[in-house]
Structure 1
Amino acid sequence: MNTMKNSTYKKILAGTVSAIMCLSAMPSGIGASAVDYQDVFEKDGYTYELWNQDSQGNASWTSSNGGLYECSWSGIKNVLFRAGKRWNNYLDWKSLGTVTVDYDVDYNPSGNSYLCIYGWTKNPNVEYYICDNHHDSWRPPGNGFTKKADVNLDNGTYELYQGEHSGPSIFADWDTFGQYWSIRKKEQRRTKGIITVTDHFAAWEKVGMKMGMLYEIALNVEGYGSSGKATVKKNDIEIGGEPKTEAPTEPPTEAKPNDDGSYFMNDFESSTDKWSGRGSAKVASSSDVAYSGSSSLAVTGRADNWNGASISLDPNIFVPGKSYSFSAAAYQKSGAPVDVKMTLQYSGGTGESYDEIALVSVPSGEWTDVSNTKYTIPSGASDMMLYFEAPDDLTDFYIDHFTAAVSGTPSPISGGGITTPTNSGKVILGDVNGDGVCNAFDVVAARQAIVNLMGGTSSLRYKDNADVDQNGSFEINDIVLISKYVLGQIKTFPQGEKPKTTAPVQQPAQPTVTTAAPVNNPGGQYADAKEYMAAVKSNFTASVPGNIGSASDKGKTQKVTYSSKKANRSKPLNVWLPPNYSESEKYPVLYMNHGVGGGEDDMLGDGWDIRQMASALIEAGEVRPFIIAFPQMYTDPASERGSITQEGMDHYDDFVYDLTESIMPYMAEHYSVAEGRENTAIAGFSMGGRESLYCGLMVPDKIGYICASSPAPGIFPCEDMFLNHRGSYNLEGKIMGDSDFKFPSGLDPYILMIGGGTNDFVVGTFPQQYHEKFEKNGVDHYWFSVQGAGHDASVGKPLFYNFMKNLFKA
């Protein structure tokens, strides 16, 4: 283990932040620099302060009683917004008794920022922080600090750090003072909760971090070279009361590996698979070269040796003190051998530390194994990030087939690989990745293809090779057969039954014109939902008009974060604002949901063209301007991505609570939103389709328009190729059955659409089964069946087009 020499910038930054913050907390008689902006005032028993170094950029705030405020910043150097209690005559912190801060903040930073309790003590002179949240771009306190301990406080684990800094302070123009930090573990970051401030003081003293006479306790939002906004909704500072406690959260269960021993594998066929550039490096899925399949991860633009490609390691999977197998294929074409190094960066001990996992000399033009099959993660490690670098060279390089697995799992990488995609046109059964042979790589590629298809994307390039039972489609049975072949349990692939020619599935009645007129009901003139639905059916078209399908996005997309009450963590959200959005108007909202294993970015893709179609429809005057929110559905305190397990299904169903308790209030608070079921729509693909149906059934008083494309199974008890589904719970806490597929009197949806393809091997006939259950209960809706379509946008795009063009006319 060693401390990396390139961390100088962070060390300087830590000192700079500390020096600047010193100026912001000066008692009477000591002012900040003449060029700095300060706004200090007393209100309702709280001291409020805004401090902006050099008056740079834009920093603004508005205050309310009780220590509450809203703030925003951009283009700044360093800015602090805080409200709390101050004692200009200083006092012994123990004389206060128990001090708690019960807070709730909508915290939306973009760049270096943190949310913390902040203050100063005298004799010894100390600047302190209790940091509950920070942006991913930089984790305090940086280098030069000594880690003193891990402590369990406030329903979480905090790392305690101590250091010194010389710079301006509240005590003199220039001074040397201490800095104390309690930093909540990265995976436990939060934006609301109770901080028992005096418990942190006591924990510091217990490890030798002596506290002096207290000057300040304040809830602080800070930005450094960044932008963002925050709304402090609660800031209750209680002094001398009884200790407050929060309900404990259940510890996460240790993740189980896949059947092949892997926790995850990245093939980079269609994306960077959550890898990102380190330093100035850029990463991208590239078809220039590949070890297997058709693409690899290209790492370019490296301005320093430590620049490379990195990925965060989930602490629920990778446990400090335990061993794991990490492997990848590396390639470079500099013309000479280059060392490629795999390293673990983590927090622990004296700040950031770096541990070598593997170091290999990679010849030019040859794929080379870089692996350590029995690597032990250092005890006490947190905030873990694995990365690749070329420590002695600035050349571009490539990474492919990265695998993280249980300890002792052999590396699947062998020398050579393929440097360009191979596709001779010859069918090689089982060769899913197209490298000319059927081996363990194809098992992994096949498994990944199934997951991708369920999420709405496809990386299955060699479909004929993958269809080993030769029944006309790639299904779970093909994965089973490929696994048996690789393990030597079968010598040849059995030939399945060829698909039979069947009569075409009856299509819904379609209008004779290519594009029918949209529903025109701006005044809400329909007598009821049935009349509205009849008008929608009459103008449904099976295809998207050319001028709509080829339109450009003329709106604006913003990525924000909100505080999820159900998940007890911050979650991301993409918000699309229509062309000419104005705060003086009120806009209805469509919530657009992704497939299983996906996230808030999935439905933004060009294949769906959601924003483009919305822009064209609004511009043509066919629909009232509306906002689209693209959430991350999976609602689990411990993870951002779901798995195909019953527990995973339950966390997807929890989205209904996240939507109604957190997302909808956030939208109403931050955007000019028209509320009510007549102004609220929900739609989605695959798992997103399932959850759109489920949310519509659970909260019909809040959602008036529902659309489900290729909805996944599981709302009612059933079994598919992935799982024996227990079924979802209704409002009474009972498993949903056929009788639950209906709506209370007067709350039928204005629009209910369901679509599916006749050749969808991922969700099979479950979309049609949902249609049949609604039909059985007499629920008026539109069923869109597409002959020969699979699990993709060939169903969803025309369905979403028809849905959007008829929205918000009730």
Structure 2
Amino acid sequence: MSSSKTIGKKLLSVLSSATLAASCLALVPTAPALTVEAAGTSSYIFHDTFESGTDDWSARGGCKAAVSSDAKYMGSRSLFISGRTASWNGGQKSLSTTTFVPGKSYAFSACFTNLTGSDPTEFKLTLQYSLNGTTSYDKIAQTFANRGEFVQLYNAEYTIPAGAADLVLVVETTDETCDFYVDEIIAAPAGTKIDGPTSKVVISKGVRRGDVDLDGDLTVLDLIELKRGMVRGFINSTAEKNADVDKSGVIDEDDVSALQSYLVGEITEFPVVNNHLSMKDFTDKVKSTIVEKEPDSANRSKSGVTYGQIQKKSYYSTTCNRQKDVNILLPPNYDPNKKYPVMYIMHGYYEGIDRMLTKGNADMHTREMIGNAIAEGAAKEMICVFPDVFSSPTLKACTGMDETNNQGYDNFINDLTKDLMPYMEKNYSILTGKDNTAITGFSMGGREALLIGMKRPDLFGYVGAICPAPGVTGSFNWSADNQPYFLMITGGSDDTVVYDNPKTYHSNFEKNGVPHIWHYVNGGYHGDNCIRAHLYNFFRIAFQN
């Protein structure tokens, strides 16, 4: 096809979309008239209509669950879930294992809508259960719906995991935090046909650059949504990923320009900005900057230097089924209109959220260390997060050094990715993705940093470990196309707790040809002086590639 024809077709698409957009603006959305084909309700195990109450449903997390007549699929009422601050906030109902036998299959159905907030919204029907002392979550069904239309989530044959206990049926969203309504929640024998409304929304499969409105096509409406999203925020994480047209990791005017050029036919492929060095090249670049120990001045408060604010917060952990505390160190002069990278810094066995920040073997001066580095221009402005690493669903705190408690620490990957990171995205102005996320930790926290870094290189671009504890398993490697940018392991000559275990991890990576920094501290013990020496270097290297 000639270039003139290609441009002509693209311009026609743009003009047609613009006309459609203008006509849509004149419409006042109303909830569609929906009907359901009658089914044999006598076979239902339960049929929650919310006509006379909440039918044993309750709120999940910090939101509210109440009967409402503002939206309904059938009858005159539905269950309204409001005040949500995280995607897992929703409604829940306990299920008896006498009725819902683990290992057997059942049909589940629920009808969802939202009248405000995101458009479209992806709803989810989930089973929470415990197995061998660990809380798990399993998708029953999920799908998108346009705002104002009901959609059925339905699975005709969902199998309760064998051995499962403490069953809880959950209604939630996959990503959005809008208020929503749910109606006609039904459980029935496997294979039962339960009719319900289907959605008219068209969602592109996976991430597609430029498709910001998620309709599967690239039109002027995507350009409108891109510009709107840069000001007001995007409807969900998929739209945000699609908005990064040039894959630079930052959504800016370059993305607007690229999408505009594509729509008018000036380009036929989107550019890709890749300013990152490989793991090997970046490691080679920074290794000469590594110092064995930090200078004493790094830990001192200096005249004329502004230091960040420490905030003590708590969030609800679905992994632990309880509130968890966290320390958050903001960068100096934190501006909520500016986005910052995030570093997660984890404590060791029996320790807590203050250990890596203010109270170690002696006073810790992490706030001063990062503040001085930023003031010198040696480190990027960043948010540092100091979590409670122990993440058992049955124990609130570590009770001993044994396998049960080890599992509580190893479970932190679920708390981090499902609960803490979404909390940070919701409540702070942060940059996301591996380019903007680092993780490190001391002792047991170092073990977790290595385990998490190896399992989720898609999330963490900078990985560190300080005197890491034994127990790290895995390949000690990454695929060439999914590596972090930087790995640093610190060990001390006088460590009488984990001894040479950090060196063993170093050797494992070295045997596999993984570029990394082996940082050895002479006189370093299992505590503050190794931590300080590591953080001094890690702060200066993170987010620099």
**Smaller-chain TM-score bracket:** 0.5 to 0.7
Question: Which residue matches 1:601?
Answer: 354
**What secondary structure, in the 3-state scheme, does the structure 2 residue paired with 1:801 have?**
helix
Kept in 1, the 8 Å contact 2:339–2:431? The answer is yes
Give per-residue Cα distances to partners, 1:521-549, cap 9 Å, x unaligned.
xx985532211111221111122123322
* 1:97 to partner: Cα distance: 6.9
Distance 1:658 1:608 in 2: 26
- Structure 1 residues 620, 645: closer, same or farther in 2, change over 3 A? same
Question: Which residue matches 2:431?
Answer: 674
Which of 65, 83, 99 aligns to 2:55? It is 99
2:454 is the alignment partner of 1:704: no
Which of 581, 585, 588 aligns to 2:341? It is 588
Question: Which residue matches 1:560?
Answer: 313
Kept in 1, the 8 Å contact 2:53–2:67? The answer is no
Identical positions, percent: 34
Question: Which residue matches 1:435?
Answer: none
- Structure 1 residues 784, 232: closer, same or farther in 2, change over 3 A? closer
* 1:763 to partner: Cα distance: 0.9
Distance 1:673 1:584 in 2: 10
- Structure 1 residues 573, 106: closer, same or farther in 2, change over 3 A? farther
2:300 is the alignment partner of 1:550: yes
Kept in 2, the 8 Å contact 1:599–1:641? The answer is no
2:367 is the alignment partner of 1:617: no
Distance 1:761 1:617 in 2: 31
Counterparts of residues 486-525 of structure 1 (less than 5 Å) = 525=275
Give the AA of the match of 1:528: S
Question: Which residue matches 1:686?
Answer: 443
Report the TM-score, using the length of structure 1 for normalisation.
0.36
**What secondary structure, in the 3-state scheme, does the structure 1 residue paired with 2:312 have?**
strand
Counterparts of residues 74-93 of structure 1 (less than 5 Å) = none
Distance 1:615 1:566 in 2: 33
- Structure 1 residues 780, 94: closer, same or farther in 2, change over 3 A? closer
* 1:632 to partner: Cα distance: 0.8
* 1:671 to partner: Cα distance: 0.9
Distance 2:351 2:66 in 1: 35
* 1:568 to partner: Cα distance: 2.6
- Structure 1 residues 568, 773: closer, same or farther in 2, change over 3 A? same
Kept in 1, the 8 Å contact 2:50–2:67? The answer is no
Distance 2:344 2:520 in 1: 23
- Structure 1 residues 601, 243: closer, same or farther in 2, change over 3 A? farther
- Structure 1 residues 524, 241: closer, same or farther in 2, change over 3 A? closer
* 1:603 to partner: Cα distance: 1.4
Give per-residue Cα distances to partners, 1:404-437, cap 9 Å, x unaligned.
xxxxxxxxxxxxxxxxxxxxxxxxxxxxxxxxxx
Question: Which residue matches 1:572?
Answer: 325
Structure number with the higher helix fraction is: 2
Give the AA of the match of 2:277: A
Question: Which residue matches 2:542?
Answer: 807
Give the AA of the match of 2:411: D
Give per-residue Cα distances to partners, 1:428-473, cap 9 Å, x unaligned.
xxxxxxxxxxxxxxxxxxxxxxxxxxxxxxxxxxxxxxxxxxxxxx
Question: Which residue matches 1:760?
Answer: 495
Give the AA of the match of 1:597: Y
Bigger radius of gyration among the two: 1
**What secondary structure, in the 3-state scheme, does the structure 1 residue paired with 2:392 have?**
coil
Question: Which residue matches 1:537?
Answer: 287
Distance 1:528 1:614 in 2: 26
Distance 1:44 1:687 in 2: 55
- Structure 1 residues 104, 236: closer, same or farther in 2, change over 3 A? farther
2:402 is the alignment partner of 1:652: no
* 1:617 to partner: Cα distance: 0.9
Which of 779, 783, 797 aligns to 2:532? It is 797
Which of 388, 410, 414 aligns to 1:632? It is 388
Looking at both structures, which has the greater relative contact order when contacts are Cα pairs under 8 Å and sequence separation is at least 6? 2
Which of 778, 781, 790 aligns to 2:516? It is 781
**What secondary structure, in the 3-state scheme, does the structure 1 residue paired with 2:356 have?**
helix
Question: Which residue matches 1:743?
Answer: 478
**What secondary structure, in the 3-state scheme, does the structure 1 residue paired with 2:446 have?**
helix
Distance 1:105 1:235 in 2: 15
Give the AA of the match of 1:611: R
Distance 2:539 2:506 in 1: 20
Give the AA of the match of 1:779: V
Kept in 1, the 8 Å contact 2:58–2:65? The answer is no
Give the AA of the match of 1:615: G
* 1:106 to partner: Cα distance: 4.9
Distance 1:593 1:777 in 2: 26
Kept in 2, the 8 Å contact 1:100–1:237? The answer is no
Kept in 1, the 8 Å contact 2:54–2:67? The answer is no
**What secondary structure, in the 3-state scheme, does the structure 2 residue paired with 1:767 have?**
helix
Give per-residue Cα distances to partners, 1:161-205, cap 9 Å, x unaligned.
xxxxxxxxxxxxxxxxxxxxxxxxxxxxx9x9xxxxxxxxxxxxx
Greater Cα offset, 589-598 or 644-653: 644-653
Counterparts of residues 189-208 of structure 1 (less than 5 Å) = none
Kept in 2, the 8 Å contact 1:598–1:641? The answer is no
Counterparts of residues 366-445 of structure 1 (less than 5 Å) = none
Report the TM-score, using the length of structure 2 for normalisation.
0.52
- Structure 1 residues 241, 625: closer, same or farther in 2, change over 3 A? closer
Give per-residue Cα distances to partners, 1:204-234, cap 9 Å, x unaligned.
xxxxxxxxxxxxxxxxxxxxxxxxxxx9755
Distance 2:178 2:388 in 1: 23
Give per-residue Cα distances to partners, 1:716-739, cap 9 Å, x unaligned.
4xxxxxxxxxxxxxxxxxxx3xxx
For structure 2, the 5+ residue unaligned runs are 1-28, 32-48, 69-92, 97-134, 138-175, 189-272
Kept in 2, the 8 Å contact 1:101–1:236? The answer is no
* 1:803 to partner: Cα distance: 0.7
For structure 1, the 5+ residue unaligned runs are 1-42, 46-92, 108-114, 120-152, 157-189, 193-230, 245-522, 717-735
* 1:604 to partner: Cα distance: 1.7
RMSD: 3.8
Distance 1:98 1:106 in 2: 17
Counterparts of residues 240-389 of structure 1 (less than 5 Å) = 241-242=185-186
Distance 1:797 1:566 in 2: 31
Give the AA of the match of 1:96: S
- Structure 1 residues 106, 592: closer, same or farther in 2, change over 3 A? farther
Kept in 2, the 8 Å contact 1:742–1:774? The answer is yes
**What secondary structure, in the 3-state scheme, does the structure 2 residue paired with 1:660 have?**
helix
- Structure 1 residues 95, 752: closer, same or farther in 2, change over 3 A? closer
Distance 1:626 1:763 in 2: 30
How many pairs were matched up?
A: 317
**What secondary structure, in the 3-state scheme, does the structure 2 residue paired with 1:99 have?**
coil
Which of 414, 420, 426 aligns to 1:663? It is 420
Give the AA of the match of 2:457: P
**What secondary structure, in the 3-state scheme, does the structure 2 residue paired with 1:536 have?**
helix
- Structure 1 residues 806, 568: closer, same or farther in 2, change over 3 A? same
Distance 1:106 1:582 in 2: 26
Give per-residue Cα distances to partners, 1:300-327, cap 9 Å, x unaligned.
xxxxxxxxxxxxxxxxxxxxxxxxxxxx
Distance 1:98 1:588 in 2: 42
Kept in 2, the 8 Å contact 1:756–1:784? The answer is yes
Distance 1:94 1:702 in 2: 41
Counterparts of residues 121-132 of structure 1 (less than 5 Å) = none
- Structure 1 residues 678, 232: closer, same or farther in 2, change over 3 A? closer
Distance 1:639 1:235 in 2: 33
